[in-house]
Structure 1
Amino acid sequence: MRESDIQISRVDWSVVLIYFALVIFGWFNIYAAVYDSQAPQSMFDMSINSGQQLVRIGISVILIILIMVADYRFFENLSLFIFLFFIALLVVTPFIGKEVNGQVLSIGFGSFRIQPGEFAKFATALALAKIMERPTFDLTKTKNQLIAFGVLFIPILLILLQPDTGTAMVFFAFLLMFYREGLPQWYFLLGFGMVALALLALGVENNLYLVAAIALLVITLSLLGRRSVKKTIVLSLIGLGLIAFTYSLDYVVSKLPPHQQNRIMVLFNPNIDPLGVGWNVTQSKIAIGSGGLFGKGYLEGTQTKFDFVPEQHTDFIFCTLGEEFGWVGSLVVISLFTGLLYRLVIMAERQKTRFSRIYGYGVISILLFHFMINIAMTIGLFPVVGIPLPFFSYGGSSLWSFTVLLFIFIKLDSSRASQLGRLN
């Protein structure tokens, strides 16, 4: 039997089917988000978003075919070149890109434009997998930690220059992959602690309460276990660092663009300006809640018809789903994403090479972050930072980048027998 036949038989078709289910369901919801009952248009009409998205879906199918017919070694051998190529695009984007709402995110010509920041996600996953695949690469060692974080922060810093805080945040999802590959747990404890402290500092009016709590915690830890001068000094320095971090947040937030400051304010007080900065989230929650158990019916969403929710076909596509298909429809989509992530974990753990496993967990990290943050945005549990719902939201760059990200891993997984033969 030919090698290509073996690879086709090893394709995880459950993942492929979930992918197409999400893409098609998303396409129907994109049409619902722009549907006008007074002047209905065909969902295939190229003048509206659903028609344009159908073209992008067709291009995605072409990308899938190209990935699946390529030699799996192509992605491993050229991983660093792919990474450097998209880093170069990120470097030139602020100079040659198109500015929209104070951000320079896309490059291209005419109506065809791409966002290098979206494609940098799978490129970074490939680069990290290539660098970390060596048997001697141990993430418990400081040198290797610096290398891994150095690669990670290159795209983050370049994307922040655009500026695109939401896309830059996505790259921190790779910490999940780092954890799987041996990064010490204290990094995550410190990270979660800093996030919790930041939320408390921004949500509490008087930071003196937090300072008192930090001081009490430091004193308690100093008294527990074996007492020593060194331990007391270290804990005191940590406490001072946390207090300095608490008071520095106000300064950092004050330097953010006004619209980002407003998004943070809305997170802690959604009713602060319901007709202004709080409009998007408030209307999104109304749309989702009004759907009830089974929804209002396809193309029957009133919030959608009257354009109450801005950007409903992109970042807020989930509220279209919630309004028209209700709790049941939302549960179906959440179940599809959960099933996809579950299958990807199984696929990652059965890989024969470190490169494939590390890349697989990179895919899982990115999709999980987008899935959780996008839904959290639409229900007011996270600031609105422009994170699309994978395979579902309108947009060419996001759909193509997620497609490439996923199907490179599907290709690597289908070729695992060949990889094992090469190792032997």
Structure 2
Amino acid sequence: MVRDTNKNYKFDWITIILFFLLVGFGWLNILSASYTSGEIDYFTFSQPYGKQSVFILLTFFIIIVILGIEAKFYERFSSIIYIFSMLSLIGLFIFGKNVNGATSWYAIGSMTLQPSEFAKAATALAVAKQLSDLNMNINSIKDQIQTLIIIIIPALLVILQNDTGSTIVYGAFFFVLYREGLPKYYLSIGLSVIVLSVLALKFGPLITSLIAVVSLSGFYYFNRKKFKFFQLLFVLLLSIGLSYAVKASYDHILKPHHQDRISLWLRLEKDPVKLEAMKKTFAYNLNESEKAIREGRFNGKGFMEGTRTTGKFVPEQHTDYIFSTVGEEWGFLGSSLVVILFVLLLLRILHLAELQKSQFSRAYGYGVASIIFIHFLINIGMVMGLIPTIGIPLPLFSYGGSGLWAFTILIFIFIKLDSNRINEW
């Protein structure tokens, strides 16, 4: 590792403070959600809150190492970091440990390590390196495909391990590409695919196709001078084909538990009795989470005073459903504070990204913000029942060493890159 000796650095303490506020508040809620009885041993390995204390202490060592390495190291060796990360994902198919149906962990004694968490930072570095290449042209189909391959490889490796939640996160890199000049029509295509998919599942492919016919007919009527008839006809055929493909994939490809989650989210089951039975069977965690948040009301019940949290009504509440602890014990005020802290962190990272002198640092900064945003959006939306249940942690907040360390690496590499701004020309 190359260390800096003759350069000046100015670390962004606002980002660092926001980071530690989220980590600290997250630990308090992990303590409340996992505490059982007796005296609190802050560093016991028998309780999640004790393990998380050790994980947090180790983050200080990670931070020191990251900030001590030369800033240019991350750009120069981004490809090697990416390749090593992909090899770690491939190794799971041979040496991985299966937990809850997903082969996503390496077992190291009593500890486990999830390489898919670290792969996000590696992919962010690789994408930033690709976009900052002097020969890169974001409007070139060839370069678009090359960049897409960099993103798809880890996504495919992760989904083959049956970790759907982590796979979805790689969609965050669309925001990075869009910032760096990806044509706007890709955004229109992406939004259209999402809308058509939801309509096809909710109303069926036939009604969705009729909606597409009416919508495109009206669009053609008002834009006849800009678009040819056969162009819109081609788009219409693709829309109809997509509608039927989505429904067929839902019926024949998705696993039953994925179907149940989507069915509950879109209320596809019309029979209220069956719907309630599905909620109790397939959405127990979600129901208990929503109840805990509702009972918190405005001020919350107080730290370690939440009846559903202390009663362990929400299974594994200290992991993906940690926000329900915030809702019950800290109420609307505490929940709003968490949201505000995340929003401030995202805005600060985006602000710093725009100040960067190098495209690599800017693209990486947008990658950091995009990954955190997708995690934040999906987790809180899932806990509140606004989107289907997806196993994805709340950054810096949920229990887990791999997630905490991976986000620490992700954020502090950017802090290091930003600190080198004064040395760039």
Q: If the TM-score is normalised by the length of the shorter chain, which range does it land in?
A: over 0.9
Secondary structure of the equivalent of 2:280? coil
Match of 1:397 among 390, 396, 402: 402
- Could you say which residue in structure 2 is the equivalent of 1:323? 328
Alignment of 1:20-419 (within 5 A): 20-37=20-37, 39=38, 41-204=40-203, 206-226=204-224, 231-254=228-251, 255-269=253-267, 271=276, 273-419=278-424
Structure 1 residues 4, 34: closer, same or farther in 2, change over 3 A? farther
Give the counterpart letter for 2:89 in structure 1: L
1:214-246 deviation line (CA, Å, top 9, x unaligned): 112232233334369x82222112111111111
Aligned-pair distance for 1:46?
2.5
- Percent identity of the aligned residues? 41
Give the counterpart letter for 1:87 in structure 2: M
Structure 1 residues 129, 299: closer, same or farther in 2, change over 3 A? same
Aligned-pair distance for 1:64?
0.2
- Could you say which residue in structure 1 is the equivalent of 2:271? none
Give the counterpart letter for 1:237 in structure 2: F
Secondary structure of the equivalent of 2:424? helix
Instruction: Tell me if the contact between 1:266 and 1:272 (Cα under 8 Å) persists in the aligned partners.
Output: no
For 2:70 and 2:363, the matched residues in 1 are separated by: 19
Aligned-pair distance for 1:152?
0.8
Secondary structure of the equivalent of 1:318? helix
1:179-238 deviation line (CA, Å, top 9, x unaligned): 10000111111111111111122122x43222211112232233334369x822221121
For 1:306 and 1:274, the matched residues in 2 are separated by: 20
1:298-349 deviation line (CA, Å, top 9, x unaligned): 0011111222212210110000001000000011111111111111111101
For 2:280 and 2:366, the matched residues in 1 are separated by: 41
Aligned-pair distance for 1:97?
0.2
Instruction: Tell me if the contact between 2:298 and 2:333 (Cα under 8 Å) persists in the aligned partners.
Output: yes
Aligned-pair distance for 1:264?
1.1
Aligned-pair distance for 1:140?
1.6
1:35-64 deviation line (CA, Å, top 9, x unaligned): 225x45434432100000111111111000
Aligned-pair distance for 1:3?
5.7
Secondary structure of the equivalent of 1:275? helix
For 2:221 and 2:336, the matched residues in 1 are separated by: 49
Aligned pair count reads 414
For 1:384 and 1:109, the matched residues in 2 are separated by: 29
Normalised TM-score (structure 1): 0.94
Give the counterpart letter for 1:232 in structure 2: F
Secondary structure of the equivalent of 2:297? coil
Secondary structure of the equivalent of 2:313? coil
Aligned-pair distance for 1:272?
5.6
Secondary structure of the equivalent of 1:6? coil
Aligned-pair distance for 1:419?
2.6
1:243-299 deviation line (CA, Å, top 9, x unaligned): 111112222123122222221112123746221112121111111111011100000
Structure 1 residues 150, 5: closer, same or farther in 2, change over 3 A? closer
Aligned-pair distance for 1:17?
0.6
Structure 1 residues 149, 260: closer, same or farther in 2, change over 3 A? same
For 2:76 and 2:120, the matched residues in 1 are separated by: 18
Of 326-335 and 269-278, more deviation after overlay is shown by 269-278
Aligned-residue Cα RMSD (Å) equals 1.7
For 1:311 and 1:232, the matched residues in 2 are separated by: 55
Aligned-pair distance for 1:5?
7.4
For 1:311 and 1:267, the matched residues in 2 are separated by: 21
Give the counterpart letter for 2:218 in structure 1: T
Give the counterpart letter for 1:32 in structure 2: S
For 1:200 and 1:272, the matched residues in 2 are separated by: 25
Give the counterpart letter for 2:28 in structure 1: F
Aligned-pair distance for 1:73?
1.5
Secondary structure of the equivalent of 1:273? helix
Instruction: Tell me if the contact between 2:205 and 2:240 (Cα under 8 Å) persists in the aligned partners.
Output: no
Structure 1 portions without partners, runs of 5+: none
For 2:304 and 2:115, the matched residues in 1 are separated by: 34
Give the counterpart letter for 2:308 in structure 1: Q
Instruction: Tell me if the contact between 2:35 and 2:47 (Cα under 8 Å) persists in the aligned partners.
Output: no
Normalised TM-score (structure 2): 0.93
Give the counterpart letter for 1:6 in structure 2: N
For 1:58 and 1:226, the matched residues in 2 are separated by: 63
- Could you say which residue in structure 1 is the equivalent of 2:270? none
Structure 1 residues 24, 342: closer, same or farther in 2, change over 3 A? same
- Could you say which residue in structure 2 is the equivalent of 1:6? 8
Secondary structure of the equivalent of 1:105? strand
Instruction: Tell me if the contact between 2:264 and 2:279 (Cα under 8 Å) persists in the aligned partners.
Output: no
Give the counterpart letter for 2:201 in structure 1: L
